[in-house]
Amino acid sequence: MRTYQQKTAETAHDWYIVDAAGQRLGTLAVRIARALSGRGKPTWTPHIDNGDHVIVINAEKVELSGKKWTQKLYRRHSQYPGGLRTQTALEVKAKYPERLIEMAVRGMLAPNRMRAAQLRRLKVYAKSEHPHAAQRPLPLPLGK
């Protein structure tokens, strides 16, 4: 019996849509990362990028538990002396609500060469409108 290895040419990237309204950020990021990496598919192969496209709408209505809106910090550095910039989750949400989900999903994906390609298939929108109606996205199943 031979082990099946999926080829890159055989991959099919489906389209899924997720409504982030009222959902916890971490749980939502895990579900999205699994769909982007293709781990929910029976043909998953570690070195082949067979994940799906994921559209996230209502990113501004995502929830965090407890006091995380004021206590969770996002840091970035400009690589200059004294260039550390820190923002709370509430400040990030006020300015760029999409970025909360993008950073959470980025942290859930494997840090390898496929992560950039997987993140390109993630589309996050703050409101409920999106320009991907032609792709006819399906709702993301809970198990994926």
**Residue-wise pLDDT tens digits, 36-81:** 999 988 888 888 899 999 999 999 999 999 999 999 999 999 999 9
CB 108 within 8 A of CB 31: no
Is the predicted pLDDT of residue 12 greater than 90, yes or no?
A: no
Is the predicted pLDDT of residue 142 greater than 80, yes or no?
A: no
Domain 13-139 classification at class level: alpha beta
Closest of 55, 49, 54 to residue 115, by C-alpha: 49
- pLDDT at 144 (0 to 100): 58
Domain positions in the chain: 13-139
pTM for this entry: 0.91
